[in-house]
């Protein structure tokens, strides 16, 4: 019988909506990845609570609260701790993966906090804020 408190890599992948490759090749290589608690078939088993703690600490990013009507530059967003760098914002904008600026006066791209919050909620790895 399968212990629901112990998970194998494919179950972890399903539970956290990632590929099994991500669990094996990325997460499990992290120095803080929990030690296996046993084995099921060809897979190592892990304590479900230890996995949840690892994901909460190392994978999930808390949504940052931004002032909805304030305009932010890419650097200000990075400094506010949105979890991505100003360079990534600029690169994603150029590739069409980031919303168009709400303001471009003086040749500087600026986004309203509400625009950024919506964009971040669509990115993997961000938890919605408790007010959503």
State the 10-residue block means of pLDDT for the chain, 132 residues long: 79 92 92 95 95 88 85 95 91 95 96 93 55 38
pLDDT at position 99: 96
Whole-Å CA distances, 17 to 13, 20, 74, 125: 6, 9, 29, 10
Whole-Å CA distances, 61 to 1, 5, 106: 34, 24, 32
CA 93, 96, 101, 102: dihedral to nearest 10 degrees?
-160
d(CA 48, CA 36): 11
d(CA 29, CA 59): 13
CB 63 within 8 A of CB 81: no
pLDDT at position 63: 67
46 forms beta bridges with 7
pLDDT at position 122: 73
pLDDT at position 14: 93
CB 127 within 8 A of CB 60: yes
pLDDT at position 125: 55
Residues 6 or more apart whose CB falls under 8 angstroms from that of 56 comprise: none
Question: How do the domains of the chain map onto residue ranges?
Answer: 6-59, 71-121
């Amino acid at each position: 019988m399968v212990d629901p408190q112990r998970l194998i890599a494919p179950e972890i992948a399903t539970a956290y909506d990632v590929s099994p490759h991500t669990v094996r090749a990325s997460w499990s290589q992290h120095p803080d990845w929990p030690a296996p608690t046993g084995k099921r078939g060809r897979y190592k088993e892990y304590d479900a609570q230890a996995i949840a703690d690892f994901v909460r600490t190392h994978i999930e990013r808390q949504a940052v609260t931004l002032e909805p009507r304030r305009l932010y530059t890419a650097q200000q967003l990075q400094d506010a701790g949105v979890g991505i760098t100003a360079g990534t914002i600029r690169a994603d904008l150029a590739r069409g993966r980031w919303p168009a600026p709400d303001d471009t006066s003086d040749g500087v791209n600026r986004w309203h906090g509400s625009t950024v919050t919506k964009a971040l909620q669509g990115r993997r790895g961000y938890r919605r804020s408790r007010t959503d």
